[in-house]
Amino acid sequence: MQVRPEKKEDFQAIEQVIMAAFENEEMSDQTEHQLVRRLRNSDAYVPELSIVAVEKGEIIGHLMLTKVTIGENDSLRSLALAPVSVYPSYQNQGIGKALIEHALKKSGEKDYESVIVLGHPGYYSRFGFQPASQYGIVPPFEVPDEAFMAFELKRSALTKVFGTVHYSNEFFKQS
């Protein structure tokens, strides 16, 4: 399996993977593919941090990281991890794990300092994500505390940061 940044010619296949991955998800409105499309056209988009997993020339997974700010501190270089998608027949085979590990490594190399995610605590805690509330960081919407998590790419990056995470407006629009 190869993990690499997405290319424009991948976009249609990525949409198919995202739609299939979220089709039966209870906590989804099945519009994640539209969110990805909107984010690609925003200032929050970081092309080299929107990555795909490829097996035998076929895109089987996708992950996107986009820029966010936390509180009033816009000097902290932080990212939101959303969404992570793996084609259903390839799930539970370590593809999501490979995408996340690659994304966190590349984010640190690009001098980002932290990553925020809204997701399953049992899953994301394996990568070192902690409840964001431990840092005084809160979401801009109502979610369970344990599901809103943060990860420090640089040691102590979040010790002097607190407040609400400000996502790109594209997260709140409808296509």
**CA separation for the pair 169, 152 (Å, rounded):** 24
Q: Residue 129's pLDDT is what?
A: 98
| pLDDT per 10-residue tile (average), the chain, 175 residues | 97 97 85 94 97 97 97 88 96 97 97 96 96 97 96 94 93 76
SS3 117: strand
Q: Which amino acid is at 144?
A: P
Helices (H), the chain: 11-22, 32-40, 95-109, 121-124
Per-residue confidence (pLDDT) for residue 48, from 0 to 100? 97
Predicted pLDDT of residue 175? 57
Kindly report the pTM of this predicted structure.
0.94
C-alpha 128 chain-centroid distance? 14
Residue 100 vs residues 106, 147, 170: alpha-carbon distances, Å = 10, 17, 22
